[in-house]
Structure 1
Amino acid sequence: MTSATHLATITLVGLSSLCAATVASAQKTYTITPMAEGLEGPWGVAPLPRGGLLVTEKAGRLIHQKDGKRNEVSGMPKVAVVGQGGLLDITLARDFEQSRMLFLTYVKAQDGGGAGTALASARLSDDASRLEDLMELFAMKPGSNGGQHFGSRVVEAPDGTLLVTIGERGNRPAAQDRSTHNGSIIRVNRDGSVPDDNPFVDTPDVLPEIWSYGHRNPQGAGLDLEGRLWVSEHGAKGGDEVNRIAKGANYGWPVISYGEHYSGEKIGEGSEKEGMEQPEFYWDPSIAPAGLMVYSGAQFPDWEGDIFVGALKFDYIARLSGDPLEEVEQIKTSETARVRDVVEGPDGGIWFISEINGTVYRITP
């Protein structure tokens, strides 16, 4: 675990809103190309294996774009747009080319008031015009009236189970209360059932979907090349973290943190406590980390295994590498304005969302 050290920055060579930009970094020259523009509140992107993309907009729209043509996908779940929440992440099933299955996270209004993070699966029609066989797989308990810290990324693990990140919804103590889903990563099967090997299935008064807990607001998640889950999560004032997730582990919030409350008051008991995990890396000051991706090296072999994290606050993509993990480069251009999501495309290109620009971009050599 280490705090941030900025070893390399990049410089923009040229840019047009309709054309690719060539960028020179300490490592290489590469190209940033806009793939979809004019989006409103884009949150999650899924490049499609046969070309084109799907992108969520927070207001509840799922957009399909291919070959310069765009359509809104019908058949969506009912989405509650509350503060930071709305329609959030999208992930294609690993067998998407055969099954056409995808997974969505979103905010769902709950009976009795309040709202919470939910997960659904659906099949994309062959013409990409609608969702079919929509099924809710999970909804967090309980909901709340707060508008912050919904998470929320969904990742398909190598065994086919689904991992979903959930923030503590602004209720700090709830992240240590395993009778709620607040501040946890949950794991369910593709049909929504609870896997028999979840860590707390036989523990009284603990919700069985919980895989790890003690999280503040994990908004980035991805698998490394060994199939292990990594997440990026927001600290308070300082203390943004990158964590490698272990089954049943407690990541400490709000008992330990490398940040402080916005008031300047100390958080919890300090930065360490027995039985609570240390981050692999933390930022101070905070960068407001969003999407996270671990890169395969397909188009950039020198970056194999590196972690890419979008920064909402300082408008760049962080590249982290090494053991111990360090921030070794900042990809910072006019395109990287408030980076909401970072994913690897089917061809090994690095795709990202600029929330401010309302654009999905792709980085290629």
Structure 2
Amino acid sequence: MARITAILVSALVLLALAGVAGAGVHPGGGTDLTENATVPAADLTNAGSPYAAEYQNGTSTTPLAGETFNVSLEPVVEGLVAPLMLTDAGDDSGRLFVVDQVGTVSIIAPNGTLVEEPFLDVRDRMADLNPTFDERGLLSIAFHPEFGENGRVFVFYTAPLREEAPDGWDSTNCLSAFRVDPTNPDRVNMTSEEILIEIDKPQPTHNGGSIGFNPRDGYLYVPLGDGGGAGDSGTGHTPEIGNAQDLTNIYGSVLRIDVENATRTAAGTLYGIPSDNPFVENTSVPPEVYAYGFRNPAFISFDDAGNLFVADAGQNLFEEVSLVVSGGNYGWRLREGTHCFDLFDFQTPPMACEAVGHLGEPLVGPIIEGGRDLGDVIVGGRVYNGTALPELSGRYVFGYWSDGFIPGDVILLAATPPPGWNASAFPDSAANLTAGDVAMWSVQRLNVTPTGEAFLLGFGEDEESELYVLTTGVAGPDPSTATGRVWKVVPGNAAAPFRA
């Protein structure tokens, strides 16, 4: 079992990484940090883009394009608590699987009914959740690309703090593998758990957690927050620079692992490291790290070409979505979105700051940036590839959780790529990025048929790539409530409300 904890170092230790032997491009495609520290970097931050969020008098606003589309939310199932994610198993069974934060995964049968017994239940091994609000819990599942043959499913959830963790920390996130019961395809064998990684958390927030397999390379991607708390600072955070800019730990990063070939690495017996991960030749950096510089990359998804979209929750002003590539530094806490960040004044971005990281590497800005005028935190998000809503084809659909701890109308948005955008030609390494590659997308607000007051929690898609949204009526994972619902996004005015 691989157990990963924070390595707290000073900025001087991090800067010493620039003296690592070797130069140029690693055989696997990652860029050497020494070269990045000495060669002027292109400005990839998107600062000043007409599509960037605007700041004035302590507030941030989202520039919206004029066009919009009508969509309706068609009710699918209700009676859940806090549904965060919906997916299919890729096995042509027609089943849909709903992740509920309280610790269960439920099946929606092909006939549209909710199967009574859960597919998976980790409530007996989870940390106790705060029912009024909590970012911990069962956060996601990912079905192995060959699930129909091997029955493997991967799960990311929050367990109580393990004994080996630092004193006074909050909890331990677990990435685990399970196998389906061979006698019942609708149930996981709960005794089959294999814990791949344990990630100790100093604070309860910023867990990341929406794991997924990339359809292009077959590897498992695991987004991790910066450890929690405000400003990437305090207990459990690297002094002076924060965890997300400290490459000697795994916080504030997206990890990339090989769940098939464990013998390829000494990282552990249950997974391996892809040979083209960007930092495999640098012994000071955990080899799992694929990209870094994130605050709370709570939502990841892939388009059909395998491009990785990461929705990252901001601090006080700016929300963002980035196209993430190998070796990229996505800016936190040097920047919050496209804007400069001041650790001592969250409400006032500095007028100027560097466009590069501590080692001279370019900071990669988001392709989508939103202000707080639409809500408190971004909820990502999928590139739509279905057929029911052709006007949304190729657009990234996302939303906002809520405006304060008060439920409201579900806010959905669609981001349109720049003219000439070619998903199949997007670079796979930060060394090859240009400003044009990461140019910002325009954002339109969708006209959504009213659904009543709700909190938007997540998105999902089925075997036909049709889009779903997940909502709840209360702010926290309160098991005494059953206000969680699954909705299908359909053409405007096509839906009917739930019957009483």
TM-score under structure 2 normalisation? Answer: 0.63
1:292-323 deviations in Å (ceiling 9; x for gaps) = 21111333233221101131025312211121
Aligned-partner Cα distance in 2 for 1:268–1:99: 52
Pair 1:79 & 2:126 matched: yes
Aligned-partner Cα distance in 1 for 2:459–2:308: 15
Larger Rg: 2
Aligned to 1:151: 208
Q: Which SS does the other structure have where 2:116 is aligned? A: strand
| 8 A contact 1:84–1:147 mirrored in 2 | yes
| 8 A contact 1:316–1:338 mirrored in 2 | no
For residues 212-291 of structure 1, the aligned pairs below 5 Å read 212-257=291-336, 258=339, 264-266=346-348, 270=352, 273-274=355-356, 275-285=362-372, 287=375, 288-291=377-380
| 8 A contact 1:340–1:353 mirrored in 2 | yes
Aligned partner (choices 60, 75, 79) of residue 34 of structure 1? 75
| 8 A contact 2:252–2:293 mirrored in 1 | yes
| 8 A contact 2:85–2:460 mirrored in 1 | no
Aligned to 1:325: 441
Pair 1:358 & 2:405 matched: no
| 8 A contact 2:140–2:211 mirrored in 1 | yes
Aligned-partner Cα distance in 2 for 1:177–1:336: 41
- Structure 1 or 2: larger strand share? 1
Q: Which SS does the other structure have where 1:254 is aligned? A: coil
Q: Which SS does the other structure have where 1:98 is aligned? A: helix
* Long gaps (5+) in structure 2: 1-45, 53-61, 233-241, 261-270, 357-361, 404-409, 419-439, 474-482, 492-500
| 8 A contact 1:319–1:331 mirrored in 2 | no
Aligned to 1:52: 95
Pair 1:70 & 2:116 matched: yes
Q: How far apart are residue 7 of structure 1 and its match?
A: 3.6
Aligned-partner Cα distance in 2 for 1:335–1:100: 38
| 8 A contact 1:240–1:259 mirrored in 2 | no
Aligned-partner Cα distance in 2 for 1:336–1:159: 40
Aligned-partner Cα distance in 1 for 2:387–2:275: 35
Aligned partner (choices 341, 344, 357) of residue 458 of structure 2? 341
Aligned pair in 2 of structure 1 residues 247, 264: CA closer, same or farther (>3 Å)? closer
Aligned to 1:201: 280
| 8 A contact 2:316–2:347 mirrored in 1 | no
* Long gaps (5+) in structure 1: 10-25
Return the structure number with greater relative CO, CA threshold 8 A, min gap 6.
Answer: 2
Aligned to 1:316: 411
Q: How far apart are residue 342 of structure 1 and its match?
A: 1.1
For residues 79-158 of structure 1, the aligned pairs below 5 Å read 79-81=126-128, 83-108=134-159, 109-113=161-165, 114=169, 115-125=171-181, 126-131=184-189, 133-140=192-199, 143-157=200-214, 158=216
Aligned-partner Cα distance in 2 for 1:269–1:150: 30
Aligned pair in 2 of structure 1 residues 217, 105: CA closer, same or farther (>3 Å)? same
Aligned pair in 2 of structure 1 residues 135, 268: CA closer, same or farther (>3 Å)? farther
Aligned-partner Cα distance in 1 for 2:150–2:352: 48
Higher mean alpha-carbon deviation, 333-342 vs 225-234, is at 333-342
- Superposition RMSD on alpha carbons, in Å? 2.6
Aligned-partner Cα distance in 2 for 1:195–1:279: 26
Aligned-partner Cα distance in 1 for 2:346–2:208: 24
1:106-128 deviations in Å (ceiling 9; x for gaps) = 12333334423332222333431
| 8 A contact 1:294–1:308 mirrored in 2 | yes
Aligned to 2:226: 168
Q: How far apart are residue 236 of structure 1 and its match?
A: 1.1
Q: Which SS does the other structure have where 1:302 is aligned? A: helix
Aligned to 1:185: 254
Number of equivalences? 346
The amino acid that maps onto 1:178 is: L
Aligned pair in 2 of structure 1 residues 124, 310: CA closer, same or farther (>3 Å)? farther
Aligned-partner Cα distance in 2 for 1:250–1:336: 38
TM-score under structure 1 normalisation? Answer: 0.85
Aligned-partner Cα distance in 2 for 1:39–1:46: 16
| 8 A contact 1:168–1:183 mirrored in 2 | yes
Q: Which SS does the other structure have where 1:38 is aligned? A: strand
